[in-house]
Amino acid sequence: MRQILLWSGILCSSWFIIGFLYRFIGSDSVSKKYPPNYRRHTCSTKNSAVLPSTMHIDEELQTLLKMIAWPLPPARRTFEFSTNPMSCHYVLLLPRTTYTVGEKLEVLITARDHKSRPKTYGGDLFQAKLHSPKLKAGVSGSVIDHYNGTYTASFLLVWPGETLISVRLIHSSEAISILHEKRDSRPDKVFFHGYFELNGTREVMECNFDLPGRNVCEYPDPVSGEKWVCVRPKNLPCDSYREHSSGGNRNILSKEENVFLKMSLTDQVIPSKLRPLNVLPQNNLDNDTRGVCTPGLKNPDPSGFYFQDQWESRVCTNQHFNDPSNVTACLSGKVVYMFGDSTLRQWWECLVDFVPSLQKIDLHVTYHPGPLLATDAEHNYLVQWRAHQKPLRMQRTWIHELRYMASELDRLGDRKGTVIVITCWSHFLSYPIGMYVRRMRGLRGAVTRLLERSPETKVLIKSANTGYRFAHGSDWLSWQLETVMRAMFSKLPVTILDVWQMTSCHRLPEDIHPPNVIVKNEVDLMLSFICPR
């Protein structure tokens, strides 16, 4: 029976996941760790595919598939049976007139469909938080799926005064089933342009991870083994590939499927008549038991909270770098390499804008894909940001400016004061999980080798942002990759910076590129680990 349950958890992802996993990843091992903030969802064998008895699944793959398993609807339903945020409701469990800081409270969420009928199965994605506009405070809640149409949201009370409850439906289970299927069956939903040029002749061709059935030029990476392909130009050789850029999005949803994912049903606040709670201060305040911000610390749930727009970490004693002199004192003598996407480029920009002595160096490149470099000669440090290798939805750039993060880390020696900051998730949302696992395996191996030869190097990994709102992206897809990333790096002495909660519980609307007040708090958390007290 135990083996049957294990296989059912693995098999709840569609046949397409299995196919792509074996096409794009190798073997390795990983510890069993699930990220904070969400309880793991499981699925029943009703959504399982049939696995050939000859197919071998390695231990890490088993673990990761179990972690990202999700309860899909028992059958394709019509729209009226899907979850309607305006019909859902929640009630406070064990209500009292007053509460005290340090206590927990729970609400019971009931999902209902468009006919106001209670749902009988789970799989909806709810996000919950406590907040106070007056106090500029917010903290994330933890949502548990009971798989019967009800959910429990749990909260830790962390500030005295007014506290409001907010619950949002990000996606119905029916919408998630569509995202799940399209992610695995249509990796071509997002495409890219390759620019070929030789002797004045130019051609623009479609490029991607794979283009089945088409005559292509292949570009394998000799270090990682990853492959990128472009449709073979009509008149130019493959080695005339010069530049890369975003191409576009294909509309792969039917008219019926579009209805489930329309914006009026996505990320919607559940109506409630609950009044603000009155939270009293704790009578006997314990001394702060948080330690210094060192590598390898686990993120509790919640990992922190906002109060007066400043993030107070529950991981460690974080600092607020409110003056540029505090930043320069921290970074003096250091070399900070940032590798990733535009959400990490915001950190580079935040530092440059905040510290007058940190000056940009014009590298004569297209700004958005970079690379970008800033130095502070007065305090002897530099900060560099470089975009990760394709897939990359950015402006036109030379292909030689795009590097695999693993390859870049392998080039680094044992340098005093080296800091590595990494993020990798948003540009992989539209692809089967296997592609992301392969990229993370290569990166994890490079980080392991770097720390072996340079144990004093600090490696920090920025988690995903919430608020993804584009045609083929969503917070559910982000959380799937977030789960994989945290699991794969769980045994290494690295720091996971939990900005997922920092972007989900702030008073301002969520945005994949959050406003500066959030970015500054994220940068301060990073600096707290670079320069712990």
Classified by CATH at the fold level, domain 304-530 comes out as Rossmann fold (3.40.50)
Copy the structure tokens of residue 207. Answer: 């490029």
Q: What phi, psi does 215 have (nearest 5°)?
A: -75, 115
Cα(273)–Cα(277) distance, integer angstroms:
12
What is residue 18's predicted lDDT score, i.e. its pLDDT?
A: 36
- 154: how many CB neighbours lie within 10 A of its CB? 17
In order, the DSSP letters of 170-199 are: EE-HHHHHHHHHHHHH-GGGEEEEEEEEET
- Secondary structure (3-state) at 468: coil
Contact between 338 and 384 (Cβ < 8 Å): yes
Q: Please give the radius of gyration of the chain, using alpha carbons only, rounded to the nearest integer.
A: 24
Strand-strand pairing, 335-340 and 381-387: parallel
CATH 3.40.50.1110 domain locations along the chain: 304-530
Taking 80 as the threshold, does the pLDDT of residue 31 lie above it? no
In order, the DSSP letters of 68-130 are: H-----SSPPPGGGSB-TTT-EEEEES--S-EETT-EEEEEEE-BBTTSPBPSS---EEEEEE
* pLDDT interval class at 287 (50, 70, 90): low
Strand-strand pairing, 277-280 and 99-100: parallel
From the number of C-beta atoms within 10 Å of its C-beta (0-12, 13-18, 19+), residue 382 rates as middle
Q: What is the mean pLDDT of the chain?
A: 88
Cα(315)–Cα(298) distance, integer angstroms:
7
What is residue 222's predicted lDDT score, i.e. its pLDDT?
A: 82
Model confidence pLDDT, tens digit, residues 445-467: 999 999 999 999 999 999 999 99
- Secondary structure (3-state) at 241: strand
Contact between 363 and 372 (Cβ < 8 Å): yes
Copy the structure tokens of residue 519. Answer: 């970015």
Model confidence pLDDT, tens digit, residues 505-518: 999 999 999 999 99
What pTM, to 2 d.p., does this model score?
0.87
Classified by CATH at the fold level, domain 79-176+258-280 comes out as Immunoglobulin-like (2.60.40)
Taking 60 as the threshold, does the pLDDT of residue 57 lie above it? no
Q: Please list, in sequence order, all residues whose beta carbon lies within 8 angstroms of the beta carbon of residue 257, skipping any fewer than 6 positions away.
A: 178
CATH 2.60.40.10 domain locations along the chain: 79-176+258-280
Which residues pair with residue 208 across a beta bridge?
Answer: 229
- 95: how many CB neighbours lie within 10 A of its CB? 11
Give residue 245's Cα distance to chain centre. Answer: 22
Mean pLDDT of 10-25: 37
- Which has the higher per-residue pLDDT, 330 or 58? 330
